[in-house]
Structure formats: C-alpha cells, structure tokens
Amino acid sequence: MAAIDCKQFLNQLDAWMEGQRTADAKAHARNCNVCRSMADDLGSITAAARSLAAEELEPPAHVWTSLRAQLEREGLIREQVSVGQITEPKTSAAGWRRWFGAIPRPALAGAYLAALVAVGVALSGPISKRVNDYRWIQGTQESTSPLSAQLNSVEQTTMASLPSSNPVVTAVLHKNMAIVDNYITLCEKSVHDEPENEVARDYLYEAYQQKADLLAQLNERGD
Amino acid sequence: MSTHRAVPQIWKSAGLLVPGFLLFGVASASAQRIEKHFKVEASPVVTIHNPNGAITVKAWTKSEVLVIATLGSGHVDLEAEQNGNRVDVMTRQITDSVAPDDLRADYQINVPQDSELQIHNDSGAVSVANVLGNMDVETIAADVDLQDAAGYLTIATVGGSFQCMRCAGHIEVNSISGSFRLMDTRSKHVRAQTSTGNILFSGEFLPNGEYRLKNYSGVIELRFLPGDSFDVSATSLKGKVNNQAKLTPPNHSYQSTSKYGQALVGSFNTAGHAHVDLTSFDGTINIVKRD
C-alpha cells in the first residue's frame, strides 16, 4: 500500500466526506494529526448543519424564493414558463408580519438562526468555483435583504419598548445596537467590494447573528 | 424691654424628638443589610439575578452558602430560597417607577469552592474568586472579574469588560463592545470574541490547546514566552499584523495565508501542539514577547 502525502489526502477530501475512503487515505489520517483533525472538523460541521436543519424552524419563504431565483439565473435549475406567465418572488409584507407575530418571542432567536443558516449556505455556496462577481453580489443581496429588513423592523419595535428603569443599561443597549448596525453596514460593503472574500462573508454572517442574539436578549427584557 | 417668651417644656421635648423621627425616617430609606445562610451539599448551584449593583462571590471551606445583601433602598427586596442543593438569589423590585439608584443591591456571597454559579447582573460589577465550578455570567453593562476560576466558564456581556486572572478550564467569552484581559491563564480552550473591544491574552499554551481570539476592530495582543510552542494563524482583513515570534512555515499546503488583508501562518518552536487563531476585520494584531 503506497503512502500518500498531505496534498494527495487533500485531493481525496471530497470523496472522504462522502464516505469513499481509500486505504491510503485512512492510513494517512491515522498518522497525520493535522489532516485527521481537519477531516474531523469538517465532519462535525456537516453533522451540526444537518442537526440545525432538522431542529430549527424553516426560514421564511422569502429566503428560499431568493435562493431559487439565484439558482435559476445561474442556470442550475430551469422552470418551464408558458408565454405571458411570469413568476415573481412573492413578497407579502402582511405574510411576514403574521408569521412574525405568531412566533413566541423566545423562539425568535431560533427562527433567525434558521434563516441565518440558509443565508450562510447561500453565501458559502460555490467557493471553489470561478463565479461572476456580479452574480455573487446579486445573490448576496437577494439572500440577505429580506433578513436585514426584518431585523431592522424588529429593532425599531424592540428599542422603542425597552424598559427605562435603568438609563445606564438603556444607553449601553442603544449604543451597542448602533455598533452592530455599523458593523453590518461595513461588512456588507466589504462583501460587495470583494465578493469572493470568505472571511468578509463570515464576518457578515456573524454580524447578523450578533444582531439577532441582541434582539432576542432585548425581547426577553421587554417581557 | 425684651419680650422673650418662655418655651414650654413640652415644646422643648418635641424639638428634640422631631430630629430623631427624621433621622429614623432617613435610615429606613437608606441601605438595608440582610444576611441569610443556607446549608448545602457538595457542588451546589447558586443563581443570582440582580438589575444593578456589585456582586462579589468568594469561595470558602464551609458547606454553606452565605448571602449578605445590601439593599440600596426600601424599593427593592431580597428573595433568596433554597431548593435541594440549589440556592436562588434575586433582587425584587417592590414599587413601580423607581429611580435607578434605588434599584441598587450589592451582594457578598460565600460559596463552597466546587459551586456552579449562574449570575445575571445588568449593571454594576461582578467579581468571583477561587470558585472552581462551572460558571455562566451574563451582563449588559457590568464588568466581570474572575480570579483563580476553573471549570466551564461562559461569559457574555453587551458592553461590560472581562478580566480573567489565573483561570483554568474552558473559557468562552463574547461581547459587543467589551474588552478582554486574560492573564496567566492555564486553560486548554479559550474562545474570545468581541466586536469593538480589545483582547489581551498572556497565558500558557497547553498541549493540544485551542486559542481563538477574534474581533472586528480594536487590538488583539497575544504575548508569548521563548519556551512556548504553538501553531499560529493571524489574519487582519483591513488592519495590520505585527509579529515578534520567529515562525517556521507550515507543513501543510492548505494552511496557506488568506489572499485578502494581512495574514501569517506558521509554527513557533518546532511543530506546536497548541493552535492559535487570531482574526480581526480592521483591527491590529500584535504577537509580542512577554517581558
């Protein structure tokens, strides 16, 4: 059995993650701590993503609609459309509000997390492929715009109804919400300027998550 | 001719009593000290919910939880109850429309060393010393100071700072604008993330330890000794990475540096067993020798 090096193991990583593991790859993973750790980490991420998808609420319909529109633009899926019939993504604001109002406040963080997972999948899509910067920017905006709008709407409602018993705490919350909003704006600009920058996309994703966490925390205080 | 009128004796007595009543009234509106004792078994759980004030927790050798509350006014009260091996302490607001200073309650709490702590304090300060059980601390504006703590330490603040001296165990700290100082740590797992705060780490790099420090802006400073050993990856997208450690290139090709921003990857002192990951969006990362 010929020994393989780290580069060769890396070339087999896609197959490894799909369960196709050669004897050479297994031997290398046994002997190389770094490659084994990396494969384990990837396996944990995959398992965690599956478990999140199974446990959390479905993200709002807008996110899937935006993803589908992006996939159609890239030609990855096609839909037969009869002449004169044009399908547009549904953007019912009333539907959003009804959905939002029906969800108990403590579940908001979970709902946002599910949406963030979907956004994260969209943002982390075809990393290894050459993609058109314009398509990345369009895809990113269409994936994040509905979530951003919803978070902003919740922010306005929540900040207006904060208990004012402790002005120090209220001031800190206002200040830090502004910090997070600024953080999101700068990350969005960075992703727009360098669409293939994975680190920038990670920061944008985390910025949304931070805002969702802070809003969930503020909602609990308002109860 | 003078026209002094003699003051009747009764009025003289009343004159002495009135200030006394006033003093008594003032005393009842000022700080009130309450002390409570709870007998517990090994590894008790102690929870503290307080909107405003200083919480000081210290370990002692007794199988007992001692709660000393100093209430800032008569508008708040102490609720402390025991359920089995769990002690719950809460500051309860009695009246509506209370001024912030009147909501203040300070706590001095002594607990067994292996206690598990859950502390929620919106503003003020939290200080814990020599407690080795797991800890979950959440604050909005209160600063958190841990000394000689161990266990699974989870700290979340919105704007409060965090300092950890000689802490061991597993440390996870998150904040939006708070800064962190982790000094003389002996932890195998440190994950510290803040958006606009600074992060200072000066501790041991244990074998197979993981040390992840991340912020959006501000300074991340990692201090090392000549005898330390670790693999490091440091990336700042828009800021700078300054390094004083002599690093050897990585053995694995996928450990290459990011093509965006300033980055470095390498090993300090042969193949390091600890892994250090430093990331900033537009802040400065400094890897410096300890004095």
Residue A185 lies in a domain: yes
Q: Do A30 and A113 lie in a common domain?
A: no
Bridging pattern class, strands B168-175 and B230-236:
unpaired
Q: Do A70 and A159 lie in a common domain?
A: yes
Which among B187, B125, B151, B164 is positioned nearest to B45, based on CA atoms?
Answer: B151
User: What ipTM was assigned to the predicted interfaces of this complex?
Assistant: 0.80
Give the per-residue pLDDT at A118.
61
Q: Do A31 and A70 lie in a common domain?
A: no
Q: Write out the DSSP string of B113-164.
A: TT-EEEEEEEEEEEEEES--S-EEEEESS-EEEEES--SEEEEEESS--EEE
Q: What is the pLDDT along chain B (291 residues), one digit of tens a residue?
A: 333 444 455 444 444 544 444 444 443 456 799 999 999 999 999 999 999 999 999 999 999 999 999 998 888 899 999 999 999 999 998 877 777 778 899 999 999 999 999 999 999 999 999 999 999 999 999 999 999 999 999 999 999 999 999 999 999 999 999 999 999 999 999 999 999 999 999 999 999 999 999 999 999 999 999 999 999 999 999 999 999 999 988 665 544 555 678 899 999 987 557 999 999 999 999 999 998
Domain count of the fold of chain A? 2
Task: Find the closest chain A residue to B140 by CA distance.
Answer: A169
Residue A17 has pLDDT above 60, yes or no: yes
State the nearest Cα–Cα gap between A219 and chain B, in angstroms: 14
pLDDT of B34-49, one tens digit each?
Answer: 999 999 999 999 999 9
B123·A10 Cβ contact <8 A: no
pLDDT of A89-103, one tens digit each?
Answer: 344 444 434 444 444
Residue A166 lies in a domain: yes
**Chain A residues near residue B210 by CB distance under 8 angstroms:** none
Give the per-residue pLDDT at A52.
60
Q: Do A112 and A20 lie in a common domain?
A: no
The residue segments making up the domain with residue A136 are: 65-74+91-222
End-to-end CA distance of chain A: 65
CATH number at residue A138: 1.20.120
Residue A80 lies in a domain: no
Residue A79 lies in a domain: no
Give the per-residue pLDDT at A223.
44
Residue A34 lies in a domain: yes
Q: Do A159 and A109 lie in a common domain?
A: yes
State the nearest Cα–Cα gap between B18 and chain A, in angstroms: 34
Q: Do A168 and A212 lie in a common domain?
A: yes
Residue A83 lies in a domain: no
Hey, is the C-beta of B51 within 8 angstroms of any chain A C-beta? yes
Residue A70 lies in a domain: yes
Give the per-residue pLDDT at B186.
96
Which of A159, A203, A214, A221 is the mutation pick for testing B, counting most B CBs within 10 A? Answer: A203
Residue B40: alpha-carbon gap to chain centroid: 25
Q: Do A29 and A107 lie in a common domain?
A: no
- C-alpha to C-alpha distance for B63 and B87, rounded to whole angstroms: 13
Q: Locate tokens 């709002």: which residue?
A: A60
Give pTM, 2 decimals: 0.69
Hey, is the C-beta of B253 within 8 angstroms of any chain A C-beta? yes
- C-alpha to C-alpha distance for B182 and B159, rounded to whole angstroms: 17
Q: Do A95 and A42 lie in a common domain?
A: no
Hey, is the C-beta of B252 within 8 angstroms of any chain A C-beta? yes
Q: Do A202 and A123 lie in a common domain?
A: yes
Q: Write out the DSSP string of B229-275.
A: -EEEEEEESSS-EEE-S-EEPPSSGGGPPPSSSEEEEEEESSS-SEE
Among candidates B93, B176, B260 on the partner chain, residue whose Cβ is nearest the Cβ of A176: B176
Q: Which of A5-19, A200-214, B14-28 has the lowest mean pLDDT?
A: B14-28
Q: What is the dihedral of CA B275, B279, B285, B287, to 10 degrees?
A: 0
**A110 or A165: whose pLDDT is higher?**
A165
Residue A84 lies in a domain: no
Which of B210, B254, B265, B282 is the mutation pick for testing A, counting most A CBs within 10 A? Answer: B254
Q: Do A143 and A182 lie in a common domain?
A: yes
Q: Do A37 and A96 lie in a common domain?
A: no
Give the per-residue pLDDT at B25.
42
Hey, is the C-beta of B219 within 8 angstroms of any chain A C-beta? no
Task: Find the closest chain A residue to B176 by CA distance.
Answer: A176
For chain B, the average pLDDT equals: 88
pLDDT of A106-133, one tens digit each?
Answer: 555 555 565 666 666 655 555 445 455 6
Q: Do A11 and A119 lie in a common domain?
A: no
State the nearest Cα–Cα gap between A205 and chain B, in angstroms: 13
